Structure 1
Amino acid sequence: MSEKSIWKPFWSFHIQSTEHWIGEMAKKGYTLSRFQPKLSRFIFTEEASSHETFSISFDRSRQHPLPKALEVDDWEVVNKQGKWAVYGNPKQKEEVKTSIVRDNLESRNSKIAMFWWIYFIYITFSIALQVGLLLPLYLSSESVTVTRVDSPMWIFTYIMFAGQIVVTLIGIYSVITLKKESRRLSEENTQSQLLVDFEEKQTDLSGERLNKFKFGWMYAPDKLESWLEEKEKSGWHLTNVHKGGFKFRFEKSDTKLYAYNVLFEGRADSNAHAFHREAGWERVYVSGSSWTQWSVWRQAYSDETEKLKINDDRESKQRAAIRVAKIYTLMFAPLILIFGFNFFSFMLPNVLEQGYFSISEIERFNTTVYPLVMFIFLINILRAWAYYFRVRGQ
């Protein structure tokens, strides 16, 4: 009985297409006998397969339990290796009534995406630091001499530079692919099919409309909640939030009472969203990021009913608020240090020595912009911490 080994790189980033591919191999007379997830290698045996539909799961516990409902629906484990398992079903896909849970898989993909984003932040920080150190030399009116020293060790520099480019390209591909995969898995989930983005809903709007821009609301989400609720009370009903989260579209309507909740979730959690939906909340916006996701929810109420909150637990609200403050501090503080180092070490002394109008236009531009950028970053950090202290004081 002959075997056929196939190498399939990045297969775990395309779970559905991999499942379809295994099914196509089965139709050609090849049965999956074993696979090596870490090596991206699948080994098939040339024999008729007893399964028509396949599903791949990821389980951190390595147990791969098969619930009774799945057994009744004729699912069985075809092959398992470590945290990965391939399930098979003898029925056609259209006849299968149950599906394998993907929660652990989505969590794993989110963590991989987060790793790559941290890598990109590190690369950006490194480039910004180098540019920040070299830019004053480039803008300096004094001549600068650069000497290149010949050395056989340069080959290692070139190799490392080429390797970094390759790793960065792999990272870009991974982030883009994982984002698409996350969308596909969400669409596959029957619960997630109910989570239709508010911005994608087509509504026949015939009344008076109003567009408002709200920048930086993520540093003070509680103020956004109050602002949206006041808009509803004044007769402006929110109908759309632009994809970037900065443009809010309203339509003139009757005065309504809506409770708005803005949530910072750390990473995407489709199960939590399904739970909020079942509790009667309507999702009107969700950010595109899968590991620092913001979402906006609302629920109508009346004078006779109590205004609800998605989360009434004080400690969990404080934990979410402190995470917001810490994340934006970690994002902006290094940039403030880089800009501040360049401004106070090179730009400001040059201005004090030569005079503002005696330096070049690009130097005047940088001398003006750098303090402004530092001020904006600092304000954002302070707003995030002010939000935390407001939540703690409630």
Structure 2
Amino acid sequence: MSEKSIWKPFWSFHIQNTEQWIGEMEKKGYTLTRFQPKLSHFTFTEEAPSHETFAISFDRSRQHPLPNALKVDGWEVVNKHGKWAVYGNARQKEEVKTSIVRDNLEARNSKIVTFWWIFFIYIIFSIALQAGLLLPVYLSGDSFTVTRIESPMWFLTYIIFAGQFVVTLIGIYSLITLQRESKRLSEEDAQSQILVHNEDKPTTLSVERQNKFKFGWMYAPDKLERWLEEKEQLGWHLTHIRKGGFKFQFEKSDTKLYAYSVLFEGRADRNAHAFHGEAGWERVYVSGMSWQQWSVWRQAYSEGKEKPEINDDPESKQRAAMRVAKIHTLMFAPIIFLFGFNFFSFMLPDALEQGYFSISGIERFNTTVYPFIMFLFLINILRAWAYYFRVRGQ
């Protein structure tokens, strides 16, 4: 009985492909007998095939429970190791009625994506900080001399640089691959993410339509809710929110009462979306990012009845609003610090000393634009915190 060991790097970034690959190995007469996820190592033994369909799951509890419904449908554990497990089913994929839950796997992928985004933001911030420190020197008219000193540990310097380059490539690959994997794992149809696809419908001249742009609503989602509800009361029914969430399309209709709710979920949660749908809420919009997802929901109600709320727990509302304030503060505060350091340390003193119209054109441009950028990001932070305090005060 022969064995075959295969190293498959980044297999967890391609779950469906890995499942299909295990199935192909099974058809060739090789059954998976050993599974080492961290080492990306798969061991197959030459045996008669016993499964047609495979599924891989990730469980933080390491228990890998198999509900009775899955057992009845023919699923069984083929191999497991730590948080990972491979399930097999003797039926063809088309005949299988149930599926392995992917929620923990999607949560894991979302955390990996978040880690790499933080890594790249740090790299960009470091480069921008160094460039900001050196830029005034290069823009000044003073002459200077650059001296290059060879490092006594030059080989170590090159090794570290090569390591950083490899890590950066892995990060780029991870972000791109996991973004695609998130789309492949999603069981929802693309049309369910948008309530109505106006571009797919023939234009009817008898229906009056209007487009409105709403920028920065994620810093004050409660104001967006009120604005959409007022539009409905004025007879303008929301039919579509463009990708990106800035362009809103309305259609003239009868006046109706709708309760709108804008949710910041942090990461995609299909179970929560299914729960809201079962409770009678219609999902109008969901952002494309799985690690920082916004969604817009609505529900019609009648005159005289209490306005429905998708979340009536004050504490959870405050926690969600706090997350909105914190994440935008963490995003924009470093930018304000970087621009403020350059502006108050170099640009403003030069402009005051030499005169605004005596400095070069690029220096005048930076001296004018930097305060505007700092003000813009500061306003966004203040709007996010104002939203939190409004929620807390309710």
TM-score by length of 1: 0.96
Residue in 2 aligned with 1:198? 194
Cα RMSD of the aligned pairs, angstroms, is 1.5
Paired amino acid for 1:183: K
Q: How far apart are the structure 1 equivalents of 2:23 and 2:343?
A: 61
Give the 3-state SS of the residue equivalent to 1:145 in structure 2.
coil
Q: How far apart are the structure 2 equivalents of 1:279 and 1:50?
A: 42
- Shift, 1:361, TM fit: 0.7
Answer whether contact 1:6 1:42 (CA < 8 A) is retained: yes
- Shift, 1:160, TM fit: 2.1
Q: How far apart are the structure 1 equivalents of 2:243 and 2:170?
A: 26
Q: How far apart are the structure 1 equivalents of 2:237 and 2:89?
A: 48
Matched pairs, number: 390
Give the 3-state SS of the residue equivalent to 1:268 in structure 2.
coil
Residue in 1 aligned with 2:318? 318
Question: Within 5 A, what are the aligned runs for 1:269-284?
Answer: 269-284=269-284
Runs (4 or more) in structure 1 with deviation over 6 Å come to none
Paired amino acid for 2:290: S
- Shift, 1:205, TM fit: 4.7
Answer whether contact 2:78 2:87 (CA < 8 A) is retained: yes
- Of 359-368 and 231-240, deviating more is 231-240
- Shift, 1:151, TM fit: 2.6
- Shift, 1:156, TM fit: 2.6
Paired amino acid for 1:277: G
Residue in 2 aligned with 1:160? 160
Residue in 1 aligned with 2:335? 335
Residue in 2 aligned with 1:72? 72
Answer whether contact 2:195 2:283 (CA < 8 A) is retained: no
Give the 3-state SS of the residue equivalent to 2:163 in structure 1.
helix
Q: How far apart are the structure 2 equivalents of 1:263 and 1:227?
A: 15
Question: Within 5 A, what are the aligned runs for 1:1-394?
Answer: 1-187=1-187, 192-193=188-189, 196-198=192-194, 201=197, 202-206=200-204, 207-394=207-394
Instruction: Give the 3 Å change call, closer, same or farther, for CA 127–200 of structure 1 in structure 2.
Output: farther
TM-score by length of 2: 0.96
Q: How far apart are the structure 2 equivalents of 1:173 and 1:391?
A: 39
Answer whether contact 2:211 2:248 (CA < 8 A) is retained: yes
Answer whether contact 2:285 2:297 (CA < 8 A) is retained: yes
Paired amino acid for 1:58: F
Paired amino acid for 2:193: D
Q: How far apart are the structure 2 equivalents of 1:128 and 1:144?
A: 22
Q: How far apart are the structure 2 equivalents of 1:182 and 1:170?
A: 18
Answer whether contact 2:33 2:44 (CA < 8 A) is retained: yes
For structure 2, which runs of at least 5 residues remain unmatched after alignment?
none
> 1:52-100 CA distances to partner (integer Å, 9 max, x unpaired)?
1111111111111111111111211111111111111111111111111
- Shift, 1:144, TM fit: 2.0
Report the identity percentage: 79
For structure 1, which runs of at least 5 residues remain unmatched after alignment?
none
- Shift, 1:304, TM fit: 3.8
Q: How far apart are the structure 2 equivalents of 1:203 and 1:284?
A: 17
Give the 3-state SS of the residue equivalent to 1:392 in structure 2.
helix
Answer whether contact 1:29 1:47 (CA < 8 A) is retained: yes
